[in-house]
């Protein structure tokens, strides 16, 4: 997870230069944690998070709090932010506020006002539209916060479309050998395989799928990390045919004002920083997060967390990821996830991912660049 964490840091530091100072003589202090201790840090280190955020508030006296990457390291920080009455901005955290309903939480994740419910909707819409309609699905997920919510979303949408669940299991975060899991899925003979995983798991699962030749009609859904160049480079051809959630790709319909300029500057610095070379997944959203905070500070002329939260709930924001606004739980008022299929990947060279030649956006219509290749066995060719 180090690459994604460092990508967040690089984008955040880059963005900080654009945040106007409410106090001319003092820098604005923004605090967040980073998972740097190994490939399963995202699911293995939530217990460290409360102490880190307590220190950021009580010892470091930060002005603003943002989260680390993902649901599993955002949710443990929520009680700390709440107990200290602090504004808290989550990055790629799925429905982190659905139990707390904390009015000073905000989310940088484009899944709309009910993200847990809607997370798997587009994937099952695509599946149900096929002819003949698939009848069965296997659901595979890491035993962790984000994946539990993604899997629950998948169950709900499968049931609504009368697709029977023939396999539904969570695996421990420490799992490194996915062969038994893939074999068990194959034994269930599902038409669809919905997977919710974190990046290191994504690599292991798809490699096992390729080695065993899993026979199914559609595979993917919530494979985190597959959107990043570093993970695609590891996987190579093993990613071909997968249909997965994505958030942004450099296609003309998604070239919002300023985003390509940001990407150009980011890519010029990325190699020396040792972060994801292309930066299409997390960095534009990390930058947008800081843009939102900067605009709120500039407009309200304060760092008072209560006043900032009030402003952020009542005004739209213009970011390199498009215009957005926040609802009562801090989620986007309008969802904008995309569904992508990967194809024609050859080898492990990063350059093939720089232009959108190995990815097709198949949904929603306003961002669509091509059609779904179905079934999965055909798409892998």
Domains of the chain in sequence order = 2-112+255-324 (3.40.50.2300), 117-252+336-379 (3.40.50.2300)
Position 212 pLDDT exceeds 70: yes
Position 20 pLDDT exceeds 60: no
Strand partners, 223: 197
Position 3 pLDDT exceeds 60: no
pLDDT band of residue 46 (cuts 50, 70, 90) is confident
The arithmetic mean of pLDDT across residues 309-330, rounded, is 98
The arithmetic mean of pLDDT across residues 106-112, rounded, is 96
Q: So what's the pLDDT on residue 198?
A: 86
pLDDT band of residue 381 (cuts 50, 70, 90) is confident
More confident residue, 86 or 17: 86
* Contact by Cβ (8 Å): 181, 171: yes
Q: Which residue has the tokens 């059609």?
A: 371
pLDDT band of residue 4 (cuts 50, 70, 90) is very low
Helix (H) or strand (E) holding 197: strand 192-197
The arithmetic mean of pLDDT across residues 18-46, rounded, is 67
pLDDT band of residue 217 (cuts 50, 70, 90) is very high
Gap between the Cα atoms of 33 and 260, Å rounded: 28
* Contact by Cβ (8 Å): 361, 249: yes
Position 134 pLDDT exceeds 70: yes
Q: So what's the pLDDT on residue 19?
A: 45
The arithmetic mean of pLDDT across residues 112-138, rounded, is 96
Straight-line distance from the first to the last Cα atom of the chain, in angstroms, rounded to the nearest whole number: 30
pLDDT band of residue 11 (cuts 50, 70, 90) is low
Tens of pLDDT, residue by residue over 52-69, are 999 999 999 999 999 988
Residue 169 phi/psi, 5-degree rounding, is: -140, 150
Tens of pLDDT, residue by residue over 363-380, are 999 999 999 999 998 998
The arithmetic mean of pLDDT across residues 143-161, rounded, is 96
Gap between the Cα atoms of 126 and 150, Å rounded: 17
The arithmetic mean of pLDDT across residues 349-370, rounded, is 94
% helix / strand / coil in the chain, to the nearest 5?
A: 45, 15, 40
Tens of pLDDT, residue by residue over 276-293, are 899 999 999 999 999 999
Position 150 pLDDT exceeds 60: yes
Position 40 pLDDT exceeds 70: no
Instruction: Enumerate residues 6+ apart whose C-beta is below 8 A from 17.
Output: none
Q: So what's the pLDDT on residue 14?
A: 53
Q: So what's the pLDDT on residue 41?
A: 55
3-class secondary-structure state, position 138: strand
Q: So what's the pLDDT on residue 34?
A: 84
Position 1 pLDDT exceeds 50: no
Q: So what's the pLDDT on residue 200?
A: 85
Residue 72 phi/psi, 5-degree rounding, is: -70, -20
Q: DSSP string spanning 307-336?
A: HHHHHHHHS-EEETTEEE-B-TTSSBSS--
CB contact burial 81-120 (16+ within 10 A = b; e otherwise): bbeeebbbbbbbbbbbbeebebbbbbbbbbbbbbbbbbbb
What integer best gives the mean pLDDT of the chain? 91
Gap between the Cα atoms of 104 and 144, Å rounded: 25
pTM given for the model: 0.90
Q: So what's the pLDDT on residue 37?
A: 64
Q: So what's the pLDDT on residue 47?
A: 87
Gap between the Cα atoms of 367 and 364, Å rounded: 6
For residue 132, cis peptide bond before it (omega within 30 degrees of 0) = yes
């Amino acid at each position: 997870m180090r690459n994604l964490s460092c990508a967040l840091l690089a984008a955040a530091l880059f963005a900080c230069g654009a945040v106007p100072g409410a106090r001319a003589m003092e820098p604005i202090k923004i605090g967040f944690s980073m998972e740097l201790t190994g490939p399963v840090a995202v699911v293995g280190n939530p217990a460290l998070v409360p102490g880190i955020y307590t220190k950021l508030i009580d010892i470091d006296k930060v002005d603003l709090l943002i989260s680390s990457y993902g649901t599993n390291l955002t949710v443990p920080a929520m009680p700390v932010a709440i107990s200290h009455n602090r504004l808290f901005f989550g990055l790629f955290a799925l429905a982190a506020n659905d139990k707390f309903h904390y009015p000073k939480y905000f989310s940088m994740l484009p899944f709309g006002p009910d993200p847990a419910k809607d997370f798997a909707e587009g994937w099952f819409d695509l599946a149900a539209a096929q002819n003949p309609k698939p009848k069965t699905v296997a659901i595979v997920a890491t035993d962790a916060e984000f994946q539990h919510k993604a899997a629950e979303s998948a169950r709900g949408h499968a049931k609504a479309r009368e697709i029977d669940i023939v396999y539904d299991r969570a695996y421990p975060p420490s799992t490194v050998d996915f062969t038994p899991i893939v074999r068990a899925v194959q034994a269930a003979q599902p038409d669809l395989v919905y997977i919710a995983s974190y990046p290191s798991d994504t690599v292991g699962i798809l490699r096992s799928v390729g080695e065993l030749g899993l026979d199914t009609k559609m595979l993917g859904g919530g494979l985190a990390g597959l959107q990043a160049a570093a993970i695609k480079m590891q996987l190579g051809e093993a990613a071909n045919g997968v249909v997965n959630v994505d958030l942004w790709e450099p296609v003309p319909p998604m070239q919002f004002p300023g985003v390509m300029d940001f990407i150009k500057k980011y890519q010029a610095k990325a190699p020396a920083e040792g972060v994801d070379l292309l930066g299409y997944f997390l960095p534009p959203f990390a930058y947008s997060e800081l843009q939102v905070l900067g605009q709120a500070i500039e407009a309200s002329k304060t760092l008072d967390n209560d006043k900032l939260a009030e402003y952020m709930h009542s005004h739209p924001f213009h970011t390199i990821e498009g215009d957005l606004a926040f609802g009562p739980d801090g989620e986007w008022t309008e969802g904008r996830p995309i569904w992508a299929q990967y194809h024609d990947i050859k080898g492990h060279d990063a350059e093939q991912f720089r232009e959108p030649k190995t990815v097709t956006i198949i949904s929603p219509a306003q961002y669509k660049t091509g059609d779904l290749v179905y079934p999965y066995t055909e798409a892998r060719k």
